[in-house]
Structure 1
Amino acid sequence: MTAKEAVPVRDSEPASEDASVIQPIGFTPAPVATGGRKLLLTPKAIVVASCLLLGALMLAYLLVARSLIFETQPADADVSVSGLALPLGDGHLVLPGHYNYTISATGYLPRTGEVEVSSDSNSRHAVKLERLPGHLQVVTDPPVPVRVLVNGAEVSSTEGLASSIPAGRKRITILTERYLPFSKEVEIEGLDNTQTLTATLRPAWANVYITSNPAGATVSVEGRVLGTTPLTAELVQGDRLVDISLPDHKTAQIQVPVTAGVDQTLATVDLNAADGTLRVVTNPPGASITVNGEYRGQAPIDLALASNSRHELRFFLDGYSTVERTVDVRAGDLRDMNVELTAVFGKVSITSNPADAQVFIDGKLAGVAGQTFTLPTRSHNITVRKPGYEDYSTTIVPSSKLKQSVRAVLLTGEQARWSGIPAEITHGAGGKMLLMRPNAQFTMGSSRREQGRRANEVMRKIALTRPFYIGATEVTNREYRRFQRMHNSSHANGVSLDNDNLPVVNISWNDAALFCNWLSARDGLKEVYRSERGRVVGFDASANGYRMPTEAEWAWAARFERGAMRKFPWGNALPVGKNSGNYADSSAGQIVPAVLRTYNDRYPATAPVGSFTPNHTGLFDMGGNVSEWIHDLYTIGTGLSLKREENPVGPQEGDYHVVRGSSWKHAGLTELRLSYRDYGAEARNDIGFRVARWVN
């Protein structure tokens, strides 16, 4: 048995003295040296390692860094760069990136900015600093207060010192009272330096010798008193206004041109005696006054009159007698004059139609018409008034030598309205138009029993009440060519249809409508015809512009006379009346197949408008010369309707338009009648037109 296999000793059994006992051995730790843990590297090794690391970092910096160089003016300027920037020679060594810089130098404005340094190349920049402003001390001979101008603009200066002048070449001008301007080119150094400019000033005045008669007068220039005459005055060059004044005398003003350094002696100034003052009052006030024939104003007034002489005064006032006075005043005197005016009257007789109207004179009720009124001989406003009528007003100046009369014709409201509408006007193309005021009921068309009647002349009951203007003649070539400059009406077998005073022909209905629209626009009126791309597609019956006559208007103007309808332009029976119009007469035998053998109007084709006698309404060529385009679209009724048509204008849609009236080509009974109707749309050499428009 080994020692490790010893049997444990039981407590209950006493050990034998001979038995061997194993005793535990106490543990004692090994001793540890004091002073902390032992370092792995010595201090010397750490220093070496740090130097190697720093050298590696510097080598890496040198490999990555780029040079940043500023070329400055001035060259000795200080350059400061933000961040890690190592000064190196004329520049700095920096890593790629953005840097702020400041460049400054004594006498210059500092400059700051930002640059970017790339990793590809070094960075070089040229920077020029701006010089600080300079100062200029102006010294004058003689020493006087001055104003300083730099390049023509005045700058602030104190005792001749002008501060903060930008550097560079400047034109310096020195201004001062009583001396000529001094000017010189100066190079301003800047750099906050003060330079001195010496200016020798030349006098800007001349000596002027002034005398007056009488002497002792006060001399002043521009409100500054210089002394009393006789006087030698120093006047600054230029045109000077010299005042010479003396009590009880008129002040004399003399314009003196002064040149610097050129002395002069003025002619002796004679001072006249001062005016006297006449204070004039009239009863009643407001009288006009003339002095020695010269108008001087209205009373009350203070009149300045030359002293020691006589003056002729006249006083005028409407309704009063003229008064004449003679007066003289002494120098400096103030006199009063009161003038009593005498009223003058005249007689005015006022009558009216209708009688018994009230008479108002100058706005006040004076009586009734049929009386004679005594009125002052001045302008009066006369108004004659009666219920149901428009006022009649006029102005009259009664005369003391002649009795005057006023006859007032009073108009109803309707009459007054029409009195303001002209009976004749001229449209923009130069044609004359007449006012028509129809108030008629008539039957348009013709009876089936009428000889020569055509089937389209259906009878229609018409009420025409709307007033209108209508062309006194057909539109001429001259008038139409103001719209279409190149229009040519051509000729008929060699006979010209194109002369200026002949009616325009060879135009379509659409051409005539567009002429009307052009004329409306020219005269500032609303166009009647609606058009699209040069084609008329409808009309506006409420428009006030120019148009062609409606068929009802044409029929009324051509036929209606004293309640009846004419059959022919010259009357109601054949043969054709002498000089009654331009038809296919004997002179047209070479142009048209059928002619009136016993009639000669002297024109084989168209005739100048207005060549024949007008009809009963004052219109020319309502029969003959050319047929006329009508506003209405062409329709044919079925018979005489019981319904009366009021101011008809025709339908809005259709293919053809009505043609009315005979032409130079017509000689047959059918065409010569005023009820003859034709139709068409295209141009013909015997169809023209006349214009019309409603009166609103």
Structure 2
Amino acid sequence: MQPIDSKIKRAQRKGAGVYVLTGLLTLGVLGAFGLWLFFIKGFSVLVGPSDALSSAKIELVSGFAWVGNSSVYTLGGEVSIKVSAPTFEPSLVSINDQSPSTIDIMLMPSPAVINAQAILGENSRSQTQYLAQTQWFLDGVLIYIGAELEYKTAPGSYQLRATNPYFTASIQSLSLVRAQTVELSARLGEVSGIITINSLPSGVEVNIDGDNQGKTPLIFAAKGGRYAVRLSSDDYLTIEETIAVQTNTLSPVRNYQLLPKPGVLNISASPNNGLLLINNIEYSLGQIDLAANKPHKIHYTKAGHTSYINTINVNKETPTRINVSLTPLYGQVTITTNVPAALIVNGNSTQKSPVSARFLAVKQSVTASAQGFRSASTSFTPQANKTNNVNINLLTEFAARKAEGKPLFINTLSIAMRKFNGDAFTMGSPANETGRRRNEHQVDLDFSRPFWVSEKEITQTQFSAFLGASTGVNSNLPITGISWLEAAQYCNWLSQQEGLPVFYRFNNGRYMGADVSSNGYRLPTEGEWEWLAKKAKRAVSTVYVWGNQEKLRDNQGNFADKSMNTAQLIFFDDYEDGKAGPADVGSFKADRIGLYDLDGNVSEWVHDYYTTSLPDMSKRHLDYLGAARGESWVIKGGNYETGRLRELRAAFREFSSSGKETIGFRIARYDSRE
């Protein structure tokens, strides 16, 4: 092959390589452009206001992006940019995939800064003493209190006013542009005033700010400021005051009434905790200033001691000294008790009674205690130089309870009781009362003895304590299904726990009658129950516990409401109380006398025998207990199965000789006789 042919082939191979390389580069550029179009997202940034646009600068703060003069290109994800311009506040902006393609950013003008220094008057004293009270106002708004102001505000036109109580105001007009710092001084001018000082008597030396200015009456020319004024005299008490000359008070006037210098009394006493009166005014021991050359009545006393009374004069030259010594007064006291007892007198134990000793003639306290007896305390004040006798009578705990007539054990069972004083009324119902039954005999009653009645019916928990801990239950439902005899025995058990005489007499479990003189626990009498239900706190008797209204209001009490329509034939179909059986005692509102469930929930045993014999209706019965004998007992009040209004009347009465699930009871007792 000729050399020229070799050259031609080499050139051909070289040209082919160039074409290949060019093709590859083109494909790379086209691929990169495709990637750009697919992955890169661009945002246009519009900066305002217009005078910030030309000088605005965009900087990348975080993330991956390319930032131009007015554009941002990201590869995805969130980026943060800062947009700034001279004399404008920079703005930080976050951009992500949800950001709009055009982002508007409005830059806020940089604030102007006011640096101002107050200058007061012409002397340095003013500068240091009053500068801190300078007040700065911008367009009438207080912006700062102090000597030097540094304040940022938006560009604009303003009026800057500096004031001070002791100098004239400085007012300057300002025209501020953005990012401008203004340095200025506010000079407040001095004001002139006059201080006038008068005194009675006159001729008293006047010292102002440490310099003697003459005697009263005095007129003193003063610049604005505060002045320490002092009036002094050999014969009168010194007067000191700070007087201010201010822009709103340029001519202050003072008229002083000087008081004569006092004499000095130094008084001490033993004991030192008594009462000191000088001219009937109470003072403390020690140094006391009194008017000189005048009589003063001194009276020093302490309980259980002799008194000191004297009249003195003091002078202003030499202090008067008095030392008072009181003599203690004692009385002979003999303390006795009805049984040997340990005595504690004023918190200190002594020997057992009787005790005879001397005691200071002040109030003393003594407590006597002996095993098996309730402690008793009393106080006494011995008469001085005389023999005094103190006797303390100790009672056993039961005797003390009986003497007080207060229920104590029942408190542990959460039984609350109320005291009542019954008055005359007629038990039973008149012939014309709707729903009256033939056994509701009218009997005139009255009461001579106050009595207590439990606010609520006795609960299962309260009754279980009587049966013993092994059968204890935890329920606030009323106890039911027990006989009259069991209820009476429960009352006797309560009486025994409190040391009260039992009301009901039993012999080997057989009921023998009642001790009507007892103030032990019992069942309410029928008369008491009916008086509570229709006469207590009423001018005249009512038909029902709630009054004379013939219609029940909802939640009046626990009766047979419409929820009982499937359980029994007779119910109140227009009444609802939310209960389908017995309810916890006290679930419904108390009546006007503070008793609960008197008209419903469960019916209640009362004390009286039930008999068909007519009572003696020819007289008014006092503390009526019903028939003397019978085979069953009276039941009062409605219950959760009562569905007739006539059976809710206060006069309605039933009877039984055995317990039922609808019958419970509450307790009563007579108040202790005086």
Question: Of 286, 290, 297, which aligns to 2:273?
Answer: 286
- Using the alignment, how far apart are the partners of 2:617 and 2:136 within structure 1? 100
1:534 Cα shift? Answer: 6.1
- 1:103 Cα offset (Å): 2.4
Which residue does 2:300 correspond to in 1? 315
Q: 2:360 is matched with which residue: 376, 400, 404?
A: 376
Q: Do the aligned partners of 2:398 and 2:500 also contact (CA within 8 Å) in 1?
A: no
Q: State whether residues 179 and 201 of structure 1, in contact with CA within 8 Å, keep that contact through their aligned partners in structure 2.
A: yes
- Cα separation, 1, equivalents of 2:3 and 2:56: 71
CA distance in structure 2 between the partners assigned to 1:86 and 1:165 by the alignment: 33
State the AA in 1 paired with 2:113: G
Match of 1:71 in 2: 47
Given candidates 83, 87, 91, the residue that maps to 1:107 is 87
Q: 2:528 aligns with which of 467, 471, 474?
A: 474
Aligned mates of 2:581, 2:176 — CA distance in 1:
80
CA distance in 1, matches of 2:6, 2:182: 86
Equivalences for residues 431-580 of structure 1 within 5 A: 433-434=451-452, 438-440=500-502, 459=510, 468=521, 474-475=528-529, 497-498=543-544, 533=579, 535-536=581-582
Structure 1 residues 427 and 237: CA distance shift in structure 2, 3 A: farther
Task: Establish whether residue 273 from structure 1 lines up as the match of residue 319 from structure 2.
Answer: no
Q: What is residue 340 of structure 1 aligned with on the other side? A: 325
How many residues were matched structurally?
A: 520
CA contact under 8 A between 1:244 and 1:252: conserved in structure 2? yes
Q: Which residue of 2 aligns with 1:399?
A: 383
Q: Following the alignment from structure 1 to structure 2, what is the Cα–Cα distance between the partners of residues 287 and 100? A: 83
Which segments of 5 or more consecutive residues in structure 2 lack a partner in the other structure?
Answer: 409-415, 423-449, 454-494, 561-576, 587-594, 643-649
Aligned to 2:469: none
Secondary structure of the residue aligned to 1:77 is coil
Given residue 48 of structure 2, which amino acid in structure 1 is its aligned partner?
Answer: T
**What does residue 195 of structure 1 align with?**
182
User: Aligned-pair distance for 1:249?
Assistant: 3.8
TM-score w.r.t. the length of structure 1 is 0.54
Could you say which structure has the higher helix fraction?
2
For 1:103, the aligned partner's letter is V
Cα distance in structure 2, aligned partners of 1:32 and 1:430: 149
2-side partners of 1:80 and 1:278: how far apart? Answer: 88
CA distance in 1, matches of 2:47, 2:579: 75
Distance in 2 between residues matched to 1:385 and 1:93, nearest whole Å: 98
Q: Go from structure 1 to structure 2 and tell me whether the alpha carbon gap of 1:428 and 1:175 turns closer, same or farther (over 3 Å shift).
A: farther
- C-alpha distance in 1 between matches for 2:72 and 2:605: 106
> Displacement of 1:353 after TM fit?
2.0
CA contact (8 A) 2:135 2:164 kept: no
Counterpart CA distance in 2 for 1:108 and 1:208 is: 55
Structure 2 CA distance for aligned equivalents of residues 265 and 139 of structure 1: 26
| Letter matched to residue 162 of structure 1 | E
Question: 8 Å contact 1:236–1:258 — kept in the other structure?
Answer: yes
Whole-angstrom CA distance in 1 between matches of 2:355 and 2:614: 69
Give the drift of 1:389: 3.2
* 1:7-31 residue CA offsets vs partner (Å, 9 max, x unmatched): xxxxxxxxxxxxxxxxxxxxx9989
Alpha-carbon separation, structure 2, partners of 1:312 and 1:116: 95
Q: Secondary structure at the match of 1:279?
A: strand
CA distance in 2, matches of 1:136, 1:342: 78
Q: 1:4 corresponds to which residue?
A: none
Q: Summarize the Cα distance change of 1:362–1:496 in structure 2 as closer, same or farther, 3 Å threshold.
A: closer
- In the alignment, does 2:386 pair up with 1:412? no
C-alpha displacement of 1:295: 1.7
1:599 equivalent in alignment to 2:617 = yes
State whether residues 226 and 233 of structure 1, in contact with CA within 8 Å, keep that contact through their aligned partners in structure 2: no
Check 1:466–1:235 CA distance in 2 against 1; reply closer, same or farther (3 A cut): farther
2:582 partner amino acid: V
Secondary structure, in 3 states, of the residue corresponding to 1:474? Answer: helix
Q: For residues 305 and 389 of structure 2, what CA distance do their matches in structure 1 show?
A: 21
Q: Which amino acid aligns with 1:434?
A: W
In 2, the alpha carbon distance for the partners of 1:500 and 1:552 equals 18
Matched residue SS, 2:289: strand
Q: 1:361 to 1:185 in 2, by over 3 A?
A: farther
Q: Which amino acid aligns with 1:134?
A: V
After superposition, where does 1:16-95 map in structure 2 within 5 Å? 38=11, 40=13, 68-73=44-49, 74-80=52-58, 83-84=65-66, 91-92=70-71
For 2:246 and 2:67, the matched residues in 1 are separated by: 71
1:128 aligns with 2:126: no
1:208 counterpart letter in structure 2: I
Deviation at 1:309, TM superposition (A): 1.8
* Secondary structure of 1:415 counterpart: helix
1:111 Cα deviation (Å)? 2.5
Query: Structure 1 counterpart of 2:90, which letter?
Result: P
Q: Distance in 1 between matches of 2:324 and 2:106?
A: 93
Do the aligned partners of residues 474 and 292 (structure 1) sit closer, same or farther apart at CA in structure 2, a change above 3 Å counting?
A: same
1:294 CA drift (Å): 1.2
Question: Are the aligned partners of 1:280 and 1:338 in contact in 2 as well (CA < 8 Å)?
Answer: yes
TM-score, with structure 2 as normaliser: 0.56
In structure 2, distance between residues paired with 1:71 and 1:178: 51
User: For residues 59 and 551 of structure 1, what CA distance do their matches in structure 2 show?
Assistant: 99
Query: What amino acid does structure 2 have at the position aligned with 1:323?
Result: Y
For residues 261 and 537 of structure 1, the distance between their equivalents in structure 2, rounded to whole angstroms, comes to: 79
The one-letter code sitting in structure 1 at the alignment partner of 2:237 is K
Corresponding letter in the other structure for 1:129: M
For residues 457-493 of structure 1, what are the alpha-carbon distances to aligned partners after superposition, in whole Å with 9 as ceiling and x for unaligned? x9459999996487687356887899xx9xx9xx9xx
Opposite residue 364 of structure 2, the aligned amino acid is H
| 8 Å contact kept, 1:206–1:234 | yes
- Please show how residues 207-246 of structure 1 align to structure 2 within 5 Å: 207-212=194-199, 213=201, 215=203, 217=205, 230=215, 232=220, 234=222, 244-245=231-232
Q: Give the aligned residue type for 1:123.
A: T
SS at match of 1:338: strand
CA change 1:241–1:554 in 2 (3 A) is farther
Aligned residue for 2:528, secondary structure, equals coil
CA deviations over 1:508-550 (Å, ceiling 9, x no partner): xx95899xxxxxxxxxxxxxxxx9936326889xxxx9899x9
Is 1:614 aligned to 2:614, yes or no? no
**Counterpart in 2 of 1:427?**
418
1:345 positional shift: 3.7
User: What CA distance in whole angstroms lies between the structure 1 residues aligned with 2:313 and 2:283?
Assistant: 16
**CA deviation after TM superposition for structure 1 residue 291, in Å:** 0.1
Equivalent residue letter for 1:289: L
**Matches of 2:403 and 2:191 in 1, distance apart?**
77
CA drift of 1:226 comes to 7.2
State the alpha-carbon separation in 2 of the partners of residues 292 and 677 from structure 1: 84
Q: Quick one: which amino acid aligns to residue 174 of structure 1?
A: A
Alignment-derived partner of residue 3 in structure 1: none
How many angstroms apart in 2 are the aligned matches of 1:513 and 1:185? 88
1:572 matched to which residue of 2?
none
Cα distance in 1 for partners of 2:228, 2:628 equals 84
The aligned amino acid for 1:613 is L
Query: 1:476 touches 1:500 (CA, 8 Å); kept in 2?
Result: no
Q: CA deviation at 1:439?
A: 4.5
CA distance in 2, matches of 1:34, 1:500: 134
State whether structure 2 residue 282 is matched by structure 1 residue 295.
yes
- List alignment gaps of at least 5 residues for structure 1: 1-27, 447-457, 515-530, 559-566, 569-582, 585-593, 603-611, 634-653, 656-662
- Structure 2 residue aligned with 1:305: 290
Q: Which amino acid aligns with 1:106?
A: P
Cα deviations across residues 251-310 of structure 1 (Å, max 9, x unaligned)?
44679797635444635424323333322222233221100111213x5x3323222222
Cross-structure match for 2:567:
none
Deviations 1:640-664 (A, max 9, x none): xxxxxxxxxxxxxx99xxxxxxx97
